[in-house]
Structure 1
Amino acid sequence: MSVNAVAHLNFHGQARAALEFYQSVFGGQTTIATYGDFGMPAEAPGAANVVFGQVVADNGFRVMAYDVPGEGAPIAQGAPTTRRENGTTITEEPFFLSVRGETVEEVGALWERLAEGAKVIEAFGPAQWAPAFGMLTDRFGITWVLDVAAEYTRA
């Protein structure tokens, strides 16, 4: 048996823009189905919103997203709840999305694209536990941790 855990992100009218942005950062193919595609009348409010969406890339990146039905404030309008204080990450968020790669160059390139319009929490650079690490909250309110896998030796 094989299973995969995939982040499923919830938005309020921003899912299409988020999925298109993540595809521009990580590559791959985007699939989007709207509430209208599933039978909601085209003139109904929210018919163009995403009921199912995903980005799947050959490099292993995968994320799913949809627009929560009904009215709601866009997620990115609130101030991010994650910050660094005295070398410690302080947060009220239930999760971060983590992206790990093999080289500083490949992860650094992803960082540069993902950081467009983001709030940087910890700048991408060398860390005690990894050749490079960084944390940011993107323009859609999602907090990401990007790092480079460290080579560990077993004792």
Structure 2
Amino acid sequence: MTVNVTPHLNFRGDARAALEFYQQALGGHIAVVTYQDAGADPAAASANEIMWGQVASESGIRVMAYDVPAHLPYDQGVNSVFVSVRCTDEAEITSFWNGLSDGAEILQDLGASAWSPMYGMLRDRFGIVWVLDIEVPYSA
């Protein structure tokens, strides 16, 4: 059983540049999925922005990032970081979800998504946004 906690940084159109910078600074491999890759309207202005991106170094450092869609509010000082908890075990992720959801605002119910068998997002009682999911291999 494996658990990883990863900083998930939020941007408005700068996620790719940030990930490239972090890759240069930290080493490792970069992976990105654009909104278009995920099936968004290719004509949309944000089609080539990052829906999900990650730099993973050989030393174990990981940084995730995405571009907040234009239809969602974004203020660099208000909604700039998520805490991402990735597990390989459904029971474990469900246990973490149940603990964190006490008094939380559920932003996305824990359940299946297009990229994971279990994914959920909540803002805890202290205002911190947590993203929890089952980690699956990435296939470009």
Alignment partner of 1:4: what SS? strand
Moved over 4 A (4+): 71-74
Structure 2 residue 21 is matched with structure 1 residue 21: yes
Shift of 1:41: 2.3
Matches of 2:3 and 2:41, distance apart in 1? 36
Cα pair distance change 1:36/1:26, threshold 3 Å: same
Provide the aligned C-alpha RMSD in A. Answer: 2.6
Match of 2:137 in 1: none
User: Which amino acid is the alignment partner of residue 52 of structure 2?
Assistant: F
Q: Please say if residues 33 and 52 of structure 2, whose CA atoms lie closer than 8 Å, have aligned partners that are also in contact.
A: yes
Which position in structure 1 is the counterpart of 2:38? 38
- Report the CA distance between 1:60 and its aligned residue: 1.5
Q: Aligned partners of 2:44 and 2:4: how far apart in 1? A: 35
Taking every aligned residue pair, what percent have the same amino acid on both sides?
A: 48
The alignment partner of 1:21 has SS state of helix
Larger RCO (alpha carbons 8 Å, 6+ apart): 2
Name the aligned partner's letter for residue 30 of structure 1: I
1:14–1:74 Cα contact (<8 Å) kept: no
SS at match of 1:5: strand
Contact 1:13–1:74 at 8 Å: present in 2 too? no
Cα distance in 2, alignment partners of residues 18 and 74 from structure 1: 17
Aligned-partner residue type, residue 48 of structure 2? A
Is the radius of gyration larger for structure 1 or structure 2?
Answer: 1
